Amino acid sequence: MSLRFVIIGGGPAGTQAATYAARLGAEVTLIERDVVGGAAHLRDCIPSKAMIATGGTLHHFSEARGMGLSTSGSTVDLPELRSRIVAITHRLAESARGLLESQGVELVRGTGRMIDAHTVTATTEDGERTFDADAIMVSTGSRPRIPDWVKPDGERILTTRDAYPPEEMPEHLVVIGSGVTGVEFVQMFSSFGSEVTLIVSRQQVLPAKDPEVAAVLEDDFLRRGVTLYKGARAVAVDRTEDGVIVRCDDGRVAEGSHALLAIGSLPNVEDVGFEAAGVEMDGPWVRTLDHHLRTNVGHIYVAGDVSGKLPLSSVAAMQGRKIAEHVMGLHKVDHRHLDYEKAASAIFTDPEIADVGLAEADAFAMGRKVRVTKVPFASSAKALINNDARGFVKIISDPATGVILGGSIVGPQAAELIAVLAVAVTNGLRVGDIAECIFVHPALSEALTDAAE
Ligand SMILES: Cc1cc2nc3c(=O)[nH]c(=O)nc-3n(C[C@H](O)[C@H](O)[C@H](O)COP(=O)(O)OP(=O)(O)OC[C@H]3O[C@@H](n4cnc5c(N)ncnc54)[C@H](O)[C@@H]3O)c2cc1C
């Protein structure tokens, strides 16, 4: 008899684990209460990137004069933008469903819950169903964190999930939070023509990033007329007759037509039955005991945002794949641990920001000797042809061996270009391995071979 694997939550972690485990021969049931593909497809990554793509097109169009074009003003068609986002998410959900079904995964539309360590129930439209499980994976994702000093109303005080797009285009948006999510929302709404104020709790946007990287973004924000309230924490958000007032702890006040909260997320761990299954928690997170993401109950795993590791879709999917390998015993044959330090990530601002592995600032903080080579896109033929030569490629390597330890790219297509450095960092390649590649000319990727010299 095949191993029975039950998964609660069908985001990137759940769908990847289900597909892979089924391919390896497990009998898989995937319980999803909403849409296959998860919040990643429906509410977070995909709608936000679709909005950024539309905003980016509009913004580039408005800046197209330098390319020998004369342009007249364009505006956003909100109903069409909304339909476009729905169409993309629908298409992705359908393709995820098709893939799962083709692998023989049983898809159950309902809310899953463990009632003991080997039994999961699903509350569906047609009543309750019960499943026995040899292994269980919980990948129920996360939701926006809402502190007690603010009450989102979906109208003028928005969470990220109310903004794809909002009912009306904000005249003046106050974004609270300057991490990855916050800056992406600044980028999209300033591209749409909204006035934007950003509340930045530290002295730099993207406080966790290399200051040189953050500086390029701050320059772009200032160029777009974004107002930055640095060193200020929001402590209250109130509605006025036709807008909002955001009060900060240093006494400053930002008035706008709308406010948007982008201050992190909380894991969806309530009502999943962790207690009934005997799974130990660690505050709001599930305690995991090893890199296979096993809980204290050896055959119950957690993956994705609920695991409290690195909250990225790409990481969630890889965790799902690794768990499927472990459940099916494949780790005994051929298994590479998931190394979070080597996960590439990107911020879809303009210019894009992407990095992987060791950052220069972190190497400095650790007192580690590294070689840093940096090439600006200003010397790239393709960047000049494209009329956008902002940013740079930076490669961090070991001075003794030449092994590439990390890299940052700021500039157009950074999220695509970082793939080259991700391959290098994951596989221990040396700078010489990149320098000897013959890339296309003229192409932005040539900056990578130049930086690897
Ligand atoms: C605004 C925003 C933009 C982002 N952009 C990116 C990006 O560009 N790139 C990137 O890599 N990451 C991005 N992320 C992060 C990414 O969305 C998450 O890391 C990813 O969705 C996590 O995947 P997951 O599988 O853990 O869960 P999710 O995608 O959250 O899916 C969880 C699923 O579980 C279901 N569920 C929950 N409870 C139950 C239950 N009891 N029974 C049945 N089903 C249940 C939910 O309906 C949901 O479908 C972004 C996040 C935000 C907030």
Atom number, ligand 1, closest to the C-alpha of residue 14: 25
Angle between helices 211-223 and 180-191 (to 10 degrees): 20
Distance from C-alpha of 377 to C-alpha of 411, rounded to nearest angstrom: 7
How much is the pLDDT for 69?
76
Predicted confidence (pLDDT) at residue 55 exceeds the cutoff of 80: yes
Which neighbouring-strand residues pair with 255?
Answer: 245
Angle at 296 between CA 295 and CA 297, to 5 degrees: 85
pLDDT band at 159 (very low <50, low <70, confident <90, very high): very high
How much is the pLDDT for 124?
97
Predicted confidence (pLDDT) at residue 222 exceeds the cutoff of 80: yes
Least confident of 58-72, 102-116, 173-187: 58-72
What does each C-alpha distance from 261 to 5, 234, 307, 350 come to in angstroms?
37, 10, 23, 21
Contact 116, 107 (CB under 8 A): no
| CATH superfamily label, 4-143+267-332 | FAD/NAD(P)-binding domain (3.50.50.60)
Atom number, ligand 1, closest to the C-alpha of residue 34: 47
Q: Using the mean position of ligand 1's atoms as its centre, give its distance from the Cα of residue 261 in Å.
A: 17
Q: Is the beta carbon of 13 within 6 A of some atom in ligand 1? A: yes
Positions of E strands within 80-224: 106-109, 111-116, 119-124, 127-132, 135-138, 142-144, 157-159, 172-176, 195-200
How much is the pLDDT for 309?
94
How many percent of the chain have pLDDT more than 70? 99
Predicted confidence (pLDDT) at residue 228 exceeds the cutoff of 80: yes
CATH level 2 (architecture), domain 351-451: 2-Layer Sandwich (3.30)
How much is the pLDDT for 146?
96
Q: Is the beta carbon of 177 within 6 A of some atom in ligand 1? A: no
pLDDT band at 75 (very low <50, low <70, confident <90, very high): confident
Residues in the chain: 453
Average pLDDT on 145-162 reads 95
In 3D, which of 30, 117, 37 has the Cα closest to residue 295?
A: 117
Task: Give the full edge-to-edge strand order of the sheet including 234-239.
Answer: 234-239, 244-248, 253-256
Q: In the predicted model, what is the mean pLDDT of the chain?
A: 94
Average pLDDT on 134-146 reads 97
Burial class (CB in 10 A: 0-12, 13-18, 19+), 399: exposed
Q: Using the mean position of ligand 1's atoms as its centre, give its distance from the Cα of residue 234 in Å.
A: 26
Give one word for 142, left, alpha or beta, with left for phi > 0 and alpha for psi -120 to 50: beta
Predicted confidence (pLDDT) at residue 406 exceeds the cutoff of 90: yes
Contact 431, 404 (CB under 8 A): yes
Q: Is the beta carbon of 34 within 6 A of some atom in ligand 1? A: yes
- CATH of the structural domain 157-263, one choice from 2.60.120.430, 3.20.20.70, 3.10.20.590, 3.50.50.60: 3.50.50.60
What does each C-alpha distance from 127 to 35, 133, 220 come to in angstroms?
19, 20, 54
Average pLDDT on 219-243 reads 95
What does each C-alpha distance from 16 to 20, 70, 182, 191 come to in angstroms?
6, 47, 28, 34
How much is the pLDDT for 160?
94
Q: Is the beta carbon of 11 within 6 A of some atom in ligand 1? A: yes
How much is the pLDDT for 209?
87
Residue ranges in 224-345 assigned as alpha helix (H): 274-277, 313-327
pLDDT band at 236 (very low <50, low <70, confident <90, very high): very high
H or E element, residue 287: none
Q: Quick one: CA torsion of 249, 255, 259, 264, rounded to 10 degrees?
A: -20
pTM comes to: 0.95
Q: Using the mean position of ligand 1's atoms as its centre, give its distance from the Cα of residue 310 in Å.
A: 12
Q: Is the beta carbon of 268 within 6 A of some atom in ligand 1? A: yes
Q: Using the mean position of ligand 1's atoms as its centre, give its distance from the Cα of residue 9 in Å.
A: 9
Domains 4-143+267-332 and 351-451 share a fold: no
Q: List pLDDT tens digits, range 194-209.
A: 999 999 999 999 988 8
pLDDT band at 224 (very low <50, low <70, confident <90, very high): very high
Domain ranges for the chain: 4-143+267-332, 157-263, 351-451
How much is the pLDDT for 147?
95
Q: Is the beta carbon of 38 within 6 A of some atom in ligand 1? A: yes
Q: Is the beta carbon of 58 within 6 A of some atom in ligand 1? A: no
Predicted confidence (pLDDT) at residue 73 exceeds the cutoff of 80: no
Q: List pLDDT tens digits, range 324-333.
A: 999 999 877 7
Q: Using the mean position of ligand 1's atoms as its centre, give its distance from the Cα of residue 145 in Å.
A: 14
